[in-house]
Amino acid sequence: MQTRVAKVSKDTVDILNEAGALLRSGELVAFPTETVYGLGANAFDADACKRIFEAKGRPSDNPLIVHVSEPSEAENIAYTCPLYYELASKFMPGPLTVILPKKEVIPPEVTAGLDTVAVRCPENEIARALIKSSKIPIAAPSANASGKPSPTSADHVYNDLNGKIPLILDGGACKFGVESTVITIKDGKIIVLRPGSVTPEMLRDVCETVEIAEAVKKELRADEQALSPGMKYKHYAPNASLYLIDDKYINFVEFTKEKQKTENCAVMCYDEEIPHLENKKLLPVGKKQDIKHQTKMLFELLRQADNLRVDTVYAHLPNDDGESLAIYNRMIRACAHRVIGGRNGEG
């Protein structure tokens, strides 16, 4: 199959209509969102959704998020509650996904047989225009090949899915760069299943009790039941061994400068550290305090690390709270819990 990449804005109506028609006819279309690129299919069409799993090589028991263009369209696919609308009024459209009891119209292929469905109303204008033009809810996981970092540009999608899907809508770089915050509601409490740019602190404005599922910071034990199927999958790990350095206990620059002398390694450093390191195979993540930029660069840099063909990658251990929690959650999985230094550490 030939994969076409089309540059789009919310005003390129012809391409959006064409993409909407493709989706309605059961085809797959990759599209930008404010978090990462999604691989979309008609959420009412079980066969189309099965094709998503084939194209990505995704395990069929990992359910998909269904995207709507207005928060109220959740009614077409799920049973909502007052807390859903309180969340919607504050965070939607935006990078928040809410798990709700599903309605019959959503086929089990989308939800991996669960009786709940993940609902998200993206803020990206192209994503919303596409949903509106297709006139259907769009089931879409991240548009990477399973096992790769989520794509934050159309190039990433093309590298992973070229020849497997007919159309990629190129809307430029994603604003946030990590996948949406996924939450579930239980007895009036919010449980964060996957951290994202809507932080637990932000959610506490709407709901008194916000818990963070244990698997967000730790690996599940083999006998533990996952609240969200995505938690139990081995996440992206670079080809090289990634080590996270706890810089509260170890001098990052001194440590990595020594490694640069003896190892074929890449260093994910802060901009401020560049002048103090050898200028080879550096992957600057941004300024130390600029968590938003570090979040946006995360998956791009992990892809670059693979392209550098190094044996090891060294990076800072991110903080595990606030805006940093989303980065911590992805990095701790990517490094297979190899942490050097005191906190959580080996040494």
Q: Which residues bind ligand TXA (CB under 6 A)?
A: 33, 35-36, 38, 62-65, 97, 99, 111, 114, 116-118, 120, 140-142, 179-180, 182, 193-194, 228-230
Q: Which does 168 bind (CB under 5 to 8 A by kind): ligand TXA, Mg ion, none?
A: none
Distance in Å, CB of 235 to Mg ion, minimum: 9
Distance in Å, CB of 78 to Mg ion, minimum: 20
Closer of 151 and 171 to Mg ion (Cβ): 151
Distance in Å, CB of 321 to ligand TXA, minimum: 21
Q: Are 267 and 254 spatial neighbours (Cβ–Cβ below 8 Å)?
A: no
Closer of 120 and 330 to ligand TXA (Cβ): 120
Closer of 34 and 247 to ligand TXA (Cβ): 34
Closer of 141 and 286 to Mg ion (Cβ): 141
**Three-class secondary structure assignment of 260-302:** HHHCCEEEECEHHHHHHCCCCCECCCECCCCHHHHHHHHHHHH
Distance in Å, CB of 324 to Mg ion, minimum: 20
Measure the CA–CA gap between 71 and 40, rounded to whole angstroms. 18
Residues facing 245 on adjacent strands: 316, 340
What sections of the chain are H helices per DSSP? Answer: 13-24, 46-56, 82-91, 108-111, 125-134, 154-161, 200-203, 252-262, 291-307, 324-334
Distance in Å, CB of 302 to ligand TXA, minimum: 15
The DSSP output letter for 318 is P
Closer of 147 and 322 to Mg ion (Cβ): 147
Q: Which does 329 bind (CB under 5 to 8 A by kind): ligand TXA, Mg ion, none?
A: none
Q: Which does 133 bind (CB under 5 to 8 A by kind): Mg ion, ligand TXA, none?
A: none
Q: Is the dihedral of CA 8, 13, 17, 23 positive or negative?
A: positive
Closer of 228 and 329 to ligand TXA (Cβ): 228
Q: Which does 181 bind (CB under 5 to 8 A by kind): ligand TXA, Mg ion, none?
A: none
Closer of 32 and 341 to ligand TXA (Cβ): 32
Tokens of 13: 């109506």
Q: Is the dihedral of CA 193, 74, 174, 143 positive or negative?
A: positive
**Three-state DSSP class for residue 138:** strand
Distance in Å, CB of 31 to ligand TXA, minimum: 8
Q: Which does 153 bind (CB under 5 to 8 A by kind): Mg ion, ligand TXA, none?
A: none
Measure the CA–CA gap between 46 and 188, rounded to whole angstroms. 32
Q: Give the residue at shortest CB distance from ligand TXA.
A: 230
Closer of 69 and 180 to ligand TXA (Cβ): 180
Beta pairing, strands 241-245 & 339-340:
parallel
**Which residues does 330 contact at the CB level (< 8 Å), separation at least 6?**
178, 235, 236, 298, 299
Tokens of 342: 């005191």
Site of interaction with Mg ion (CB under 5 A): 141-142
Q: Which does 333 bind (CB under 5 to 8 A by kind): ligand TXA, Mg ion, none?
A: none
Distance in Å, CB of 38 to ligand TXA, minimum: 3
Distance in Å, CB of 309 to ligand TXA, minimum: 27
The DSSP output letter for 72 is G
